Structure 1
Amino acid sequence: MTVQVRSEMMTDPHLPGWLVPPPEGFTATDLDHLTDLPAHTELIDGSLVFVSPQASFHALIITVLENGLRKTVPSDLRVRREMSVILAPRQRPEPDLVVIHATADLRPDVTAYQAADAVLAVEVVSPDSETRDRERKPQLYAAAGIRHFWRVERNGGGATVYVYELDPATRAYALTGIHHDKLRLAVPFEVDIDLTEIDQL
């Protein structure tokens, strides 16, 4: 029965081709060619991951962090929101925020960055993606060599930011700080963000 349904889906011209993944899974480059994909579709371990509607906290804290990063980011870096990063042939997640080298963003038609372009990846944890945001995506970012990672968790009406730095010996992230109201850091560059600004948005 499953084989028959799968066969019918593969031949129905009214259904998008991505409903039935190839046996070996999708590749990072496939995302640029699959039509009618929902916005912000990610690729994790060769499988398409679709994003659920987000709570307002998610959008607001991303705005606070994005604005704060833009105030102090060096001229040779850029802050980008919800752009995917190709980590490996079957890994193309979309961090909520990513800081990249400016040379990686020279064309207006760029759809994804390479892991080597990324300096910092930021994930805001959502109820539907807790395991991915807390476990799988940090593993992938670390394995790809992205030196800095922030995980943002909702804490009542505010936010807590967990800051990690890559240990080059283990290729795993080490926790370097937990920040509640203020996010003050010296790496990857000087950062001073008032997390309580979320109350003013």
Structure 2
Amino acid sequence: MPESSVPDALRQGSTQPWTERLPLPPAEKMTPEQRAAAQALIDSPRKGVFGPFLPLMQSPKLLDRVAKVGEYLRFESVLDARVRELCTCATARHVGNQFEWHMHAPLAIKAGVDAGAIDALRQGARPSSGLKDDEALALDFTQELLNTNGVSDLTYGRAVKQFGEQGVVELASLVGYFAMVNWVMNVARTPAQASSGEAMRPFPL
């Protein structure tokens, strides 16, 4: 997309001038592998090709593997949906990705996360109230992992007690997965969906 057609709230990345770098290839120019990858996404729980899968279409085999990891973490993980969606939002906020923020903030609220806590994250603050104990712990784990590239024994011990070893592995993997797809979109400048609400603040980070 050209710079003039995309509002600031929908842009990824902060360099100027801003243009989308890796949009979805036109159908007539897709390779058979790309067409198959697109159809697989349409047939999956995602029901379409959007977000990180637009730039990932340049590597159909990678797209397929990334999609399968994401399907497990989003739809089959042992973690509660509240925890998954909250930590997805925290990751999107950390790396400044509008697409995942706008997609997952409403899903977090729908799953039961306090709307005020989500808005605090949007503004760049640590929610001071509204989070359930497991949500607060998962957010501590996520932010510590993002900020230090690991977690302390104290945080790890609390997380294992709350979520179990499988849950801790899946939580760390969830954070890593969304950091990865957020970075792909930031590099590709994949715009957020046009129906998005309020942008994260400040933006760009």
Structure-2-length-normalised TM-score: 0.29
Query: Of Structure 1 and Structure 2, which has the larger fraction of its residues in strand?
Result: 1
Higher RCO (CA-CA < 8 Å; seq separation 6+): 2
Higher-Rg structure is 1
Quick check: which one's helix share is greater?
2
